[in-house]
Amino acid sequence: MTNHFVDYRNADVILIIGSNTAENHPMGMKWAMKAKEKGAQLIAVDPRVSKSASMCHVHARLRPGTDIAFINGMMNYIIENDLWFKDYVLNYTNASFLIHPDYQCEDGVFSGFTDIDGKLSYDTATWQYQMDGDVIKKDPTLQDPNCVFQILKKHVSRYDIKTVCQITGTSEDTYRKVCEMYASSGKRDKAGCVIYGMGITMHSVGTQNARALCILQLLLGNMGIPGGGVNAQRGEQNVQGSTDMAMLHGNLPGYLGMVYANKHKTLAEYIEKETPTGYWSNKPKFLISQLKAWYGDKATPENDFCYDWLPKHDGKNRSYMSLFNYMDTGEVKGFFVAGQNPSVGGPSTIQANQAMENLEWLVVYDIFEIETAAFWKRPGADPSKIKTEVFLLPAAMSFEKEGSVTNAGRWMQWRYKAVNPPGEAKSDLWMFYNLFNTIRKEYQKGGKFPDPVLNMVWDYDLPGEEEPDIAKVAKEINGYEVATGNVLSGFAKLAADGSTACGNWVLSGYWFEDKDAKVPACKRRINKDPSGMGVFPQYAFSWPANRRIAYNRCSADPAGNPWNPQKPYARWDALAGKWVIPDVPDFKATEPAPNPSDPPIPVPPEKSAVDAYIMSEDGHGRLFAVKGLSDGPLPEHYEPYESPFRNLISQQQNNPMALTFKTGLFSKIAEIGSEKYPCVAITVHLVEHYQSGATTRNCPSLAEISAHMFVNISPSLAQKIGVKNGDDVIVESVRGQITCKAAVNGVCVPLMVNGKETEVISMPYSWGFMGIATGASANDLTPSVGDPNSNIPEYKAFLCNVRKANKS
């Protein structure tokens, strides 16, 4: 999220797209409702009438997987009707920058596409800016056909209302209403907020879906302002925290790029190739401080801070779906599962469970005996034929241990332990601390390349206690001065010479003591909001640097006057000659004085406006992404991998860069327009259950509230197949079939897509064969196809058939 939950109340228009905030993030919805009470207009874009959609002024249904057409069409409407925020776009985005004259998007494929022996990729040379030496060429009149604005305008011009509605199945009247209502936020004194969730991300075009929302927000001047932003409703209670700490296959902690064996042989090579200009020129400080945190005294300038010890990525796809594919091919032989339930939660679970049978060993570290731990005795399996050795380790639950959690709004908060874990259950910190200690003991006897294991900083003992000292871990993540051990106040203090150690630069400062609260920043609970805008600067710690709204320089014009004088955020006080802002500036507001004992010197507005998007190499919000995406610089509509339709916008049916498996268990995909599987299916989260249901189906009261797996089907489909609400139906895809209850209540209705009535069905994915309430798993039906950038599976938009279950 660029903004945060409380900030929703500052919005004038809210676009809830692909998110069911009311069920899945009720504390977020609370603030959207506060905005509504103050007169804000709420829009939902969702194939279903979700609980959130039912609370909005306008609800536009669309066919799952067609959001790019929907959003590109909104941009087209905004540009055609001259509703974009010109001063903002001109000053703060790359609209005027000139792109390579050979750039093009021809029939759904961008320039630079290469296919070398079936290995597809884009050479991005033609996506780059035109340069005059070191300076990017620009056309401030925005007339040059190679300028970003003209390229964007041309790109989205194909998405006229009629074409969009043919693709999405949205009624033209409703679509026009959405465009009009949301475009009203493109004025200086109006703020539009985008709230999105898994309906946007879980597609073979998921990242470009989110990109489209960013471009929309830039065009309307809604970024960096209170009540604006692009706000992902993130998952679990700590998915944000887990990605910050690199629970991702392509990152080191703090979103530092992964270190690859073939292209980053030395520290110098990594730094040379991976250090851009702009803010990220600080990257060497972050990486070297990380190496100091991990390898301590052993890391010296002479040995490149033990860079050679850092495990390097081999360049193969190591994402979730690929790992299961490697189990299928036999390359992965052992699997340690901590805090997830892949036998229910991952895609194509029939095939995933089969692939797991190839494992030599499996460790499941969980609070229950979940489906994954019991996969060898799942219905239909023959335990006598499965040789996998399975270990089940009992885990302590969240209330039984302390630690930090980070919410979707980047607020990092400390959670205290309420009770001791039962029996032999252990906290995750205990488990991994002792696991590594045990592995190290083995290496003391010898082993391949023992140095990194033997010398890793791993000293978190708390004398007299069985639990490790979490404060020591917290301090290492925050960062400290090596010579004194003093906790650093923030990442600005990090150095590239080995004098500082820091496990994760984005979080730096969270463990630094707040002078008023007298506790580390993430433990603060000072409930004061001096600006009255919901900022609460001393409540928790908002990374980075306790900043609440990212890119906040953009809340004022280049001269430093707030766009909206009624809701000023960053403001240049000309009389006093300084910046006034209720938040931590996301721009250079001051510079150090030549004499360090003097107060810092304020940076005047025009100078700070030059790189208002400080984290972007060119200092500007990118309408056109010159780098960072593997599937194109602009979002382009492709059909979901399984679709009843041919792509109406181009000959290119699917995202050419999507992650797919051509052979093996995970290669099953229904044909385009399949008559056997005519319904478009989505899967969703539920208020009554949590994810795979492992926790909630083991909780008697929740198991009782929602005991049965179900599928939402339209009244017309129910009539056609001869079932009524509560009857058993079979839902089948090319990968498998399940039996569950039909829910016939108007949540789903058919859509008219390009003249063809198309049924949309929706299923929760929270059931499995273990626990108190058991039921079929929706993931027995889902495909193993993923977005090329994030590798997230296409859980939403796949083909199914529904028929009446024969009672025997």
Ligand X SMILES: Nc1nc2c(c(=O)[nH]1)N[C@H]1C(S)=C(S)[C@@H](COP(=O)(O)OP(=O)(O)OC[C@H]3O[C@@H](n4cnc5c(=O)[nH]c(N)nc54)[C@H](O)[C@@H]3O)O[C@H]1N2
What whole-number distance in Å separates Cα of residue 364 and Cα of residue 567?
Answer: 51
At closest approach, how far in Å is the CB of 584 from ligand X?
A: 28
Q: Which is nearer to Mo ion, 666 or 795 (CB)?
A: 795
At closest approach, how far in Å is the CB of 797 from ligand X?
A: 6
For Cα atoms 186, 192, 195, give the angle at the middle one, nearest 5 degrees. 145
Q: Which is nearer to ligand X, 94 or 779 (CB)?
A: 779
What whole-number distance in Å separates Cα of residue 475 and Cα of residue 246?
Answer: 18
Q: Which is nearer to ligand X, 51 or 313 (CB)?
A: 51
For ligand X, the binding residues (CB under 6 A) are 17-20, 24, 45-48, 50, 62, 64-65, 67, 197-199, 233, 235-236, 239, 338-342, 345, 365-368, 370, 395, 397-398, 428, 682-687, 689-692, 694-695, 765, 778-779, 782, 795-797
Given ligand X, Mo ion, none, residue 20, with its beta carbon under 5 to 8 Å by kind, binds: ligand X
At closest approach, how far in Å is the CB of 47 from ligand X?
A: 5
Given Mo ion, ligand X, none, residue 112, with its beta carbon under 5 to 8 Å by kind, binds: none
- Examine residue 544 and say whether the peptide bond preceding it is cis (omega within 30 degrees of 0): yes
Given ligand X, Mo ion, none, residue 48, with its beta carbon under 5 to 8 Å by kind, binds: ligand X
At closest approach, how far in Å is the CB of 533 from ligand X?
A: 26
- Given the structure tokens 């609800």, which residue do they identify? 59
Given ligand X, Mo ion, none, residue 631, with its beta carbon under 5 to 8 Å by kind, binds: none
- Residue closest to 77 by CA, chosen among 191, 186, 2: 186
Given a contact cutoff of 8 angstroms between Cβ atoms, the answer to whether 319 and 529 are in contact is: no
Given ligand X, Mo ion, none, residue 339, with its beta carbon under 5 to 8 Å by kind, binds: ligand X
Left (φ > 0), alpha (ψ -120 to 50) or beta: where does 112 sit?
left
At closest approach, how far in Å is the CB of 363 from ligand X?
A: 11
At closest approach, how far in Å is the CB of 258 from Mo ion?
A: 22
- Residue closest to 662 by CA, chosen among 744, 500, 785, 518: 785
Q: How far is CA 482 from CA 291, 306, 308, 476, 486, in A?
A: 12, 16, 21, 11, 8
Q: Any idea how long the chain is?
A: 808
At closest approach, how far in Å is the CB of 682 from ligand X?
A: 4
- Paired residues of 389 in beta bridges: 361
At closest approach, how far in Å is the CB of 21 from Mo ion?
A: 14
- Paired residues of 395 in beta bridges: 426
DSSP strands (E only) in 438-532: 480-481, 500-501
At closest approach, how far in Å is the CB of 393 from ligand X?
A: 8
For the record, the structure tokens of 598 come out as 């003097």
Given a contact cutoff of 8 angstroms between Cβ atoms, the answer to whether 769 and 371 are in contact is: yes
The CB-nearest residue to ligand X is 197
Given ligand X, Mo ion, none, residue 199, with its beta carbon under 5 to 8 Å by kind, binds: ligand X
At closest approach, how far in Å is the CB of 145 from ligand X?
A: 33
Q: Which is nearer to ligand X, 378 or 796 (CB)?
A: 796
Q: At what angle do helices 161-168 and 172-183 cross, to 10 degrees?
A: 120
Q: How large is the greatest C-alpha to C-alpha distance in the chain, in angstroms?
A: 88
What whole-number distance in Å separates Cα of residue 685 and Cα of residue 808?
Answer: 31
At closest approach, how far in Å is the CB of 239 from Mo ion?
A: 5
What whole-number distance in Å separates Cα of residue 493 and Cα of residue 478?
Answer: 11
Given Mo ion, ligand X, none, residue 778, with its beta carbon under 5 to 8 Å by kind, binds: ligand X
Q: Which is nearer to ligand X, 427 or 508 (CB)?
A: 427
Instruction: Dump the DSSP string for 624-654.
Output: S-SSS-SS-SS------SS-SS--SS-S--S
Given Mo ion, ligand X, none, residue 435, with its beta carbon under 5 to 8 Å by kind, binds: none
Q: Which is nearer to Mo ion, 24 or 647 (CB)?
A: 24
At closest approach, how far in Å is the CB of 790 from Mo ion?
A: 12
- Residue closest to 216 by CA, chosen among 28, 36, 76: 76
Q: Which is nearer to ligand X, 199 or 558 (CB)?
A: 199
Given Mo ion, ligand X, none, residue 695, with its beta carbon under 5 to 8 Å by kind, binds: ligand X
Q: Which is nearer to ligand X, 230 or 395 (CB)?
A: 395
Q: Which is nearer to Mo ion, 235 or 788 (CB)?
A: 235
Q: Which is nearer to ligand X, 287 or 373 (CB)?
A: 373
- Given the structure tokens 């919805």, which residue do they identify? 29
Q: 480: which residues sit within 8 A by CB, 6+ positions away?
A: 486, 487, 488, 500, 501, 502
Applying CB under 5 A, the site for Mo ion has a residue count of 1
Q: Which is nearer to Mo ion, 228 or 235 (CB)?
A: 235
Q: Which is nearer to Mo ion, 235 or 621 (CB)?
A: 235
Q: 808 in helix, strand or coil?
A: coil
Q: Which is nearer to ligand X, 219 or 680 (CB)?
A: 680
- Paired residues of 14 in beta bridges: 42, 193
The H or E element containing residue 122 is strand 119-122
At closest approach, how far in Å is the CB of 343 from ligand X?
A: 8
Q: Which is nearer to Mo ion, 148 or 232 (CB)?
A: 232
Left (φ > 0), alpha (ψ -120 to 50) or beta: where does 539 sit?
beta
At closest approach, how far in Å is the CB of 162 from Mo ion?
A: 36
Q: Which is nearer to Mo ion, 65 or 235 (CB)?
A: 235
Given ligand X, Mo ion, none, residue 730, with its beta carbon under 5 to 8 Å by kind, binds: none
What whole-number distance in Å separates Cα of residue 506 and Cα of residue 516?
Answer: 23
What residues numbered 55-84 form the site for Mo ion, per CB under 5 A?
none
Q: 542: which residues sit within 8 A by CB, 6+ positions away?
A: 4, 409, 410, 411, 412, 548
What residues numbered 230-249 form the site for Mo ion, per CB under 5 A?
235
At closest approach, how far in Å is the CB of 764 from ligand X?
A: 8
Q: Give the torsion through C-alpha atoms of 110, 111, 116, 117, to 10 deg.
A: 40
Q: Give the torsion through C-alpha atoms of 703, 705, 709, 711, to 10 deg.
A: -160
Given ligand X, Mo ion, none, residue 682, with its beta carbon under 5 to 8 Å by kind, binds: ligand X
Given ligand X, Mo ion, none, residue 78, with its beta carbon under 5 to 8 Å by kind, binds: none
What whole-number distance in Å separates Cα of residue 442 and Cα of residue 448?
Answer: 11
Left (φ > 0), alpha (ψ -120 to 50) or beta: where does 23 sit?
alpha
Given ligand X, Mo ion, none, residue 123, with its beta carbon under 5 to 8 Å by kind, binds: none
Given Mo ion, ligand X, none, residue 428, with its beta carbon under 5 to 8 Å by kind, binds: ligand X
Q: At what angle do helices 206-219 and 67-80 cross, to 10 degrees?
A: 20
Q: Which is nearer to ligand X, 309 or 320 (CB)?
A: 320
What whole-number distance in Å separates Cα of residue 145 and Cα of residue 456?
Answer: 55
- Residue closest to 392 by CA, chosen among 366, 411, 413, 415: 366
At closest approach, how far in Å is the CB of 259 from Mo ion?
A: 27
Neighbours of 162 (CB within 10 A): 11
At closest approach, how far in Å is the CB of 235 from Mo ion?
A: 2
Instruction: Tell me the torsion sign for CA atoms 438, 442, 443, 447.
Output: negative
What whole-number distance in Å separates Cα of residue 10 and Cα of residue 756?
Answer: 41
Q: Which is nearer to ligand X, 33 or 267 (CB)?
A: 33
Residues that bind Mo ion (CB under 5 A): 235
